[in-house]
Amino acid sequence: MGMNKNTVLAWATFIMIFVGVGLICLGAFRYDDVAGWGFASVGIGFFAVAWVFNALKGRL
């Protein structure tokens, strides 16, 4: 079983979504001060990058 470019992008998208959810959960449940807002905004940035990876599947 070989991994082609679409499989790599699919795995990258899944990992980015997983990390983004983790960061948002850290910001929402672990930190109650300003750091929580930073973790949540970085998590949303991970979602944006995952969206780009998903859009690139089949185009590269």
Q: Mind listing the pLDDT tens digit for each residue in 6-53?
A: 888 889 999 999 999 999 999 999 988 899 999 999 999 999 999 998
Domain ranges of the chain: 5-56
Q: Given this model, what pLDDT does residue 32 score?
A: 85
Would you give the DSSP letter of residue 29? I
Give the CA count within 13 Å in the CB-facing half-sphere of 42: 13
pTM attached to this predicted model: 0.83
